[in-house]
Chain A
Amino acid sequence: MPRVLLIEDDPSIREGVGLGLRRRGHEVRAAETGEDGLALMTSFHPELVLLDLMLPGINGVQVCHRIRQTSEVPIIMLTARGDDFDIVIGLEAGADDYIVKPARTEVIEARIKAVLRRLSDPVGSRPGIESHGELVIDRAGLTVAKNGERVALAPSEIKLLLHLSASPEQVFSRQQLLEYVWDHSYHADARLVDACVRRLRHKIEDPARSPRYIQTVRGFGYRFGPL
């Protein structure tokens, strides 16, 4: 069962969520502050991080940035702030998904599973190495290289890229992408898609030019190419 690192300053949530997840067979380590959480990253090697946004000391967004500098571990934000602004800030920092508190363990676990389910994604099952312009996508190894250099992508980013590039030039609506990539069946939350596309473009597109690989189809959604 996956190892989950929970960074949360409130003891009742830390213990409640920890208890719930442990009962469902997860190995959970909890940290009270961002600093403690970052320290645990190296010793515990979590497979997933549950991260509170409002933390004493360095806040959730900063923690998210720091984790992303060294690791592509999936990050889910736990936030009491359901306002659009806070969610978008967290997503831009590199989180793969978010959960608004309070949430049932059931929901938290479903999100964890969805984020971790990247390897068994059927569209990613086509084996082999594909080349699109300067991008080389290894579907088996789940790696992406641009101009021969490996690009570090978060799980949701690579999932989105694999899904889009599997059917070049086909337009996907945000809702479709949300369901395929995030497995969101409860919220039609297009902000996840938009934030992820922005982050992905930042990593793989040439900043001087308009988006080449991931193109916006106004009023409908996104497509990969044509190059």
Chain B
Amino acid sequence: MRRIAPLGLRTRLIAAFLLVAAISAGTTAALTYQQARNAILKQTQDTAVSTLRDQVEQQEIRLPLEQQELQRIVIELGKRGKPHPWIIFGEYGGIRVSTNPGTPTSTVITDSLRDRVRNNQYAAFQRVEDQRGSPWLTIGVPALFEHNGYIESTGVVFYASVPLSTEKQTVEAMVEAAQQGAVPGLAIAIVPALLAARSVLRPVRDMRRAAQKLGRGRLDTRIEVRGADELAGLARTFNETARALEQSVRELQEAEVRARRFASDVSHELRTPLAGMLAVTEVLDEDAARLDADTAKALRLVSAETGKLAVLVEDLMEISRFDARAAELNLDDVDIAEAVRKTLERRHWDDARVVTDLPHGVRARLDPRRFDVVLANLVGNALRHGGAPVHVTVSTAAGADGERLLIDVADSGPGIAPEVLPHIFDRFFKADAARTRSAGSGLGLAITLENVRLHGGTLRAGNRPAGGALFTLDMPLEAHV
């Protein structure tokens, strides 16, 4: 089921604001209307009831009453209608008269009113509507007389029908006024609603934008703090967090740069003395033959260690170039079979120790010097730590983004121990604790991996089912700078 997208904060704020405005306007209008309407009607009916009662009391009624006499009294009463002209009906036994000669009985006087007047000897009134929906106030007043200190009913009852159309118009006008006032009122309420929404939403929007910038690495992003409300507090907290983040990132970066520069400077400084030493090591080696055994041994040791140190410094320089992202690709169009053959030949590995399977005519665009380093390192490692014969297999495969070059280097040794496998590309990782000083610098595979990555490729290490380590190089046939 698809969920309805939640409304935006602004819409919700405005809706809530308008709802509150509508409810308060509606409630106020309804209460006012009811109060005013009751007040108007009450005044009208009170006036009318008391007027009729007073008038009836002033009439002298002598029983028994003739129809003419009753008619006269009715007409007399009819003239004194207040606050509006009214229609008076008189009832006495079977006699029915009214101020309206055509209609001696009323259509709006109900039986319930008649009952209340007859039984209670008090005036009663009722608000009714006739067939056309016009409101009427109907009042019934019994004519009484005093007899031996008791008030008794004469049996004559006067009814008055007072039209309430004026009051109805007044009330209708009030309702209309309330309606006409509420709609523009609500429309005007939108303005403060928008302003309120804006004042709340702008800091929120600013903060969202700032958080996005911060996420993209613009750590110098800050928010302008306005006012002293909760949103301003949030903005201040955001700024403090961003400042702290920027500070620690800067410290980390500076520390990293320092460490990198130190490694680079150390290697660099080592080169000069090494250059002098390495240039004369052959002199030492040659002369060692003519010296006594201990001195010869010492000289050869110095010579050999100098050579190792030179390799180590060279590798350190290379690694620090990768770390400083100063390593560049110098791409060239290369025949892979030819390049592999050359690499093996240069290092005198082109004998039975290395078995190759090289497809003819595979050309790749890569950095030949780096490719040479990669291949030489993999084959050299295989020969040193694994064992001959080493199989080098070159193939190509279609990849997601173009043709890929696959090179497998497999040895015939014992394979790589499972606990070693995850760390095999780590710097200075020593696979065997006993063999802490191998011929390599301990950086060979790390450099190899960096060179492969520079070409946009991957290097995996594993073991063959039949035993022996297997390194798989997978890189684009066309590297891009």
Contact = CB atoms under 8 A, between A and B. Distances in A.
B330 A191 contact: yes
Contacts of A103: 275, 278-279
Nearest to A15: B276
B131 interface: no
Contacts of B276: 10, 12-17, 102
Contacts of A10: 272, 275-276
Interface in A38-95: 78, 80, 82-84
A187 to B, nearest CB: 6
Contact of B346 (A108, A185, A220): A185
A198 interface: no
A219 interface: yes
Nearest to B338: A175
A186 B328 CA distance: 19
Given A173-B333, A188-B372, A190-B368, A102 B282 contact: no
A174 B275 contact: no
A13 B275 CA distance: 6
Contacts of B286: 23
A80 B273 CA distance: 11
A17 B323 CA distance: 32
Contacts, number: 100
B43 to A, nearest CB: 104
Nearest to B347: A186
Interface residues of A, number: 35
Interface string B414-439: 00000000000000000000000000
Tell me what chain B mostly uses at the interface: helix, strand, loop, or mixed: helix
Contacts of B332: 173-175, 188, 190
Contacts of A173: 332-333
Interface in B266-319: 268, 271-283, 286, 307, 310, 313, 317
A125 to B, nearest CB: 26
A17 B275 contact: yes
Nearest to B283: A23
B275 A188 contact: no
B369 A108 contact: no
Contacts of A102: 271, 274-279, 310, 313
A87 to B, nearest CB: 11
Contacts of B281: 104
A108 B268 CA distance: 20
B319 to A, nearest CB: 12
What are the nearest 6 A-B pairs in CB distance? A12-B276, A16-B276, A188-B368, A16-B279, A102-B275, A101-B275
29 contacts: A10-B275, A12-B276, A13-B275, A16-B275, A16-B276, A16-B277, A17-B276, A19-B279, A19-B280, A20-B279, A78-B275, A83-B321, A84-B330, A101-B274, A102-B275, A102-B313, A103-B278, A103-B279, A104-B281, A105-B283, A175-B342, A175-B368, A187-B369, A188-B342, A188-B368, A188-B369, A190-B369, A191-B330, A220-B333
